[in-house]
Amino acid sequence: MAGIPELETSQSLMQSVLSMVASFAGFMTPTVIAAFVIRSPEDVDASDDKHELTSLALYIPVVSGACIIGLWRAYVREIKKLKETEQEDSGGIVPLETTSLLATGRSSRKSSVVEIHQAFSKQTEISRRRSVEVMGVSLPYESCDEKTDRDEMWQQKMEFHKLSTLDEDELDALKLEEEKA
């Protein structure tokens, strides 16, 4: 969320929709399975194959396979995007072992003071944990990107804190140093 500022205000809405969909699936799935997939004992005894499940039970491998294929296609698409951006960043030159070690690095914007304060706010963390605990998740794990963003914001917070504690003479010296560089 921190990478997309436009979605920052929609986080609670998205979490509540996810929670409602999970709740809906929790009581609809047994109803659908009982009505369309499981056969009654009388039907099983009367049938030749003696199977307890109808052919609609094949939805499980079909939907699972569709999810795996969709995830694989998204993964391949992201890998292609990364390779294209790497080639664009390097000016069309494919990096080899002989390529210079100096890299341009990604140009990311600095987080605002408000965004950093919100990310490290105890109230935000409490709200986040409560919202996922309601959905049955015991602890919200962060992805690698979220951890990287959080570490970057922590460094920026330390820089802001360091700047806020400097007196005027030190600030003037820092400005002169930046102007020389």
Is residue 157 a part of any domain in this protein? yes
Q: What is the pLDDT of residue 70?
A: 96
Is residue 129 a part of any domain in this protein? yes
CA 135 vs. chain centroid, Å, equals: 17
Q: Which domain holds residue 138?
A: 107-181
Is residue 160 a part of any domain in this protein? yes
Is residue 4 a part of any domain in this protein? no
Is residue 151 a part of any domain in this protein? yes
Rounded Cα–Cα distance for residues 124 and 166 (Å): 29
Number of domains in the chain: 1
Contact between residue 120 and residue 153 where contact means Cβ atoms under 8 Å apart: yes
Is residue 113 a part of any domain in this protein? yes
pLDDT band at 77 (very low <50, low <70, confident <90, very high): very high
Task: Read off the pLDDT of residues 80-130 as tens digits, 9 standing for 90 and up.
Answer: 988 887 777 666 566 666 666 555 555 556 667 777 777 777 777 777 777
Task: Read off the pLDDT of residues 22-74 as tens digits, 9 standing for 90 and up.
Answer: 899 899 999 999 999 999 889 889 988 888 898 899 999 999 999 999 999 99
What pTM does this model have? 0.42
Q: What is the pLDDT of residue 24?
A: 93
Is residue 133 a part of any domain in this protein? yes
Is residue 63 a part of any domain in this protein? no
Rounded Cα–Cα distance for residues 2 and 9 (Å): 11
Q: What is the pLDDT of residue 92?
A: 58
Q: What is the pLDDT of residue 107?
A: 52
CA dihedral for 149, 152, 156, 161, sign (positive or negative): positive
